[in-house]
Amino acid sequence: MSKLVPGQRLHQRCVCCCWNKLCNFNYCRIFIFLVVTSIAFIFFLAVYTCKPMGHSCFGLTDGSPVALSYYDAFLMGKVFKHNFSEAVLNKERRLNLEGEDVLIYLHIQKTGGATFGRHLVHNLDVDFPCECKAHIKKCVCVTRNSRRWLFSRHATGWMCGLHADWTELTDCVDKWFKRNDVKSRKHRVYHYITFLRDPVKRFLSEWQHVQRGATWKAARLHCNGRDATMEEVPFCFTGVDWSGVPFDEFMSCKHNLAFNRMTRMMANLSKVNCYNRTGLTDDVVNEILLKSAKENLEACAFFGLVEEQQKTQFLFEKTMGLKFIDNFRQKIKTHVSRLEITEEMTKKVVEKNILDIELYQYAKDLFLQRVAYMERKLGYTVDEYFNHIRDADDAGDDDTEEVDVDEYGDEDDTDDDIDDDGVDIYPGKNTTAGGEIPNSSTVRLNSSR
């Protein structure tokens, strides 16, 4: 084989580099520069293209390296893999309920939250369990030193308003405790916990609940020192309630608070001027609400998923350092499961709840990553915990008995019932000099929504 002269060597390099098109070395360098620049441009374009609401460029949890919308991933039963820091994944703490620690339960409608609320008052293995009596809606949950350790519907009643959201609770809770807790307790650390649910099933469950006559009529929608007005959030119906409302009519009311309820209830509504959105576009409001809801969800001491009862119990027990007496059960049949849901109905619900879709997808990935992190940290899986380890730990507890908390009981709950002793006046509510609530026909107080 004959040797290549210098000119032939240069030509060969150019052929390899430029695919038989460019034969000048400088052109080769320009070609490579353009290729690298194009790749970088496409990358940054993809990042910014996927930023708007409902999209992500993260790979799927099954390893698929594809950029899809949260909408598409949700319908496929997939979730995106986010890059969470260890500080976000590891929420482990050891509570001192006799000391400064207090559990605050944010109960979102139709998330299986009433069942979890009952677990907290009936099924939690603590040194000072709640005292509950038949036919009395509230239990007494105090320590030996009379310190309240749980703030929830079943422990205190709706003291910050019916189904108070994050905005209402964070404004109200500390004020309420300062008035109602023992004076010897000078400082408290509030640990917020909540539950989420598949947004389509949650929405359909709310529709059915409203069909049965629910209105949550005592809800205040309190924000920035006042309740929302009728002009800001008009009712979707006239009369006492919306009983028997057809699906299409329920979907057609643009003021329906069922839309994106989880996002709204987890977000800081003060960031979007509460329910008065004058001067703000929907896109701006949605982006702010979703970002705030994700941040608050991350900051919660714990959140569970109704679709993952066993993993929820495992993560709660290992994160909070508290155990339940009886294991959670995964309910298969609910009112929603008995519905004949068409593909068109599902599509309509998803399109109207795109914020909740993204929040739930984000939450589901965070939840599953926290479970996996805890499994790695402990050296055993959720299944191993329930099949062997937990039973061994409980072997010495002879006084343990099974507890029935009526799984997913909120499917039939009339949550809008007010406690027999009435609803306490919201500590942050504007009042007259005499302490009475201002008389205004525009305030949504004790009215259907």
* Catalytic residue numbers, as ranges: 163
Q: Two tokens at 223? A: 């924000």
Distance CA 91, CA 416 (A): 33
- Closest among 395, 317, 301, 261 to 119, alpha carbons compared: 317
- Closest among 277, 390, 267 to 326, alpha carbons compared: 390
| φ and ψ of 35, to 5 deg | -65, -50
Ramachandran sector of residue 207 (left: φ over 0; alpha: ψ -120 to 50; beta: rest): alpha
Distance CA 270, CA 282 (A): 16
Distance CA 303, CA 316 (A): 8
- Report the 10 Å Cβ neighbour count for 54: 20
